[in-house]
Amino acid sequence: MVTINNPDLRNTYLYLSTIENILRKEVRQINGNKNYVDKIVPDQFTRIFSLKEKSALTFADNLTRTAYENSVVSIVATFEKIVFAKYRTSYGLLKRIVSEKSTRPLDYYKSREYFINDKIDRLSGIIFLLEGQFSSTLLRKLKLIKDHRNYIAHGKRDVAPPAVELNLEEIALVLDEVIGEIES
């Protein structure tokens, strides 16, 4: 059993993995029974993919791939929502402290421009802030997930496909670990 501590991430993972499970069971029925496709598609699409075995199997493969890709985008979006909420909270606190206690900017922070001027609006900005804060292995996994999400979300253009494709459980566990590190 997967243990995901953050409740929002856990719920998103639960719903997405349930959809993945249902889909896996339904797609399994298509192998050797091309007409099963007609039972799972909307009525207006019956008799389109079930005419040939190859069409039914291609439909099943595309359906599975689309569900996976949408799950990756959805779970990373949930992670971004959580992390940006934490960033906004810390940004407001830092800005107030700097305004009250300092006569000049905190030059020793590599990320002061991001915090003081509130320039972080992408996951890559959050990753920039997290560099050096926890293990390089975890950061590398987070970057891999970000790159994979970008590859999917931006139309698979201008970038090579990811070298490693993580399953939904692995993605959820890495994102939860990052949230745990941010909170500690």
- The per-residue pLDDT for 107 is 44
On the question of pLDDT at 43 being above 70, the answer is yes
pLDDT single digits (tens) 115-146: 545 556 677 877 887 888 889 999 999 999 99
- The per-residue pLDDT for 108 is 41
Does 60 reside within a domain?
yes
Does 99 reside within a domain?
yes
Residues in the chain: 184
Does 2 reside within a domain?
no
Does 1 reside within a domain?
no
Query: With contact defined as beta carbons under 8 Å apart, do 80 and 171 qualify?
Result: no
Contacts of 69 (CB under 8 A, 6+ apart): 152
Query: With contact defined as beta carbons under 8 Å apart, do 145 and 175 qualify?
Result: yes
Looking up tokens 């999400």 gives 149
Query: With contact defined as beta carbons under 8 Å apart, do 178 and 82 qualify?
Result: no
Does 69 reside within a domain?
yes
* Owning domain of residue 15: 7-183
Number of domains present in the structure of the chain: 1
The alpha carbons of the chain give a radius of gyration, in whole angstroms, of 21
| Mean per-residue pLDDT of the chain | 84
Contacts of 26 (CB under 8 A, 6+ apart): 36, 40
Q: Could you say which DSSP state residue 163 is in?
A: S
Query: Picking from 25-29, 49-53, 99-103, which range would have the lowest pLDDT averaged per residue?
Result: 99-103
Does 75 reside within a domain?
yes
pLDDT single digits (tens) 63-120: 999 999 999 999 999 999 998 887 766 555 555 555 565 555 544 444 555 554 555 6
Q: Say how far apart CA 78 and CA 178 lie, in whole Å.
A: 13
